[in-house]
């Protein structure tokens, strides 16, 4: 089991006990790019394929709501992990799913 897989397992199994650095490692590992949020206390992560944009506060521990939202957005589950290069990066992040946060424009 590699480091990314272990951190995803922790994220899913213990969403109340995740700090910013652990979440950052997972988000970068699944293909997100990190950008400064502007104010310094938040960072923005952008997933190029799915166009998902996530703003995360830099705090320890992170609030459970942030972790649950990320688990849902990217379809992270312990059963999806069994490696195979993270199940082809979570089936290309659920086949480039659409989410209203993705570009800041909501579908009409």
pLDDT digit of tens for each residue in the chain (108 aa)? 588 888 888 888 888 889 999 999 999 988 899 887 666 788 899 988 888 898 888 888 899 998 999 888 888 776 544 445 455 555 445 444 444 444 444 443
Q: Residue 59: what pLDDT? A: 84
Q: Are strands 42-47 and 52-57 parallel, antiparallel or unpaired?
A: antiparallel
Q: Residue 25: what pLDDT? A: 92
Measured CA to CA, the distance from residue 101 to residue 59 in angstroms comes to: 22
Q: Residue 75: what pLDDT? A: 82
Q: Residue 99: what pLDDT? A: 46
- Residue 55 has, within 13 A of its CA and on its CB side, a CA count of 10
Is pTM beyond 0.75? Reply is: no
Q: Residue 17: what pLDDT? A: 87
Nearest C-alpha neighbor of 25 from the set 7, 1, 12, 45: 7
């Amino acid at each position: 089991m590699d480091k990314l897989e272990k951190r995803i397992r922790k994220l899913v199994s213990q969403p109340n006990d995740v700090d910013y650095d652990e979440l950052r490692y997972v988000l970068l590992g699944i293909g997100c790019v990190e950008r400064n949020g502007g104010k310094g206390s938040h960072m923005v992560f952008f997933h190029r394929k799915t166009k998902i944009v996530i703003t995360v506060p830099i705090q320890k521990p992170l609030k459970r709501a942030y972790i649950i939202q990320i688990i849902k957005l990217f379809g992270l589950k312990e059963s999806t992990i069994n490696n195979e290069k993270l199940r082809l990066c979570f089936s290309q992040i659920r086949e480039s799913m659409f989410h209203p946060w993705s570009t800041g424009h909501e579908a009409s």
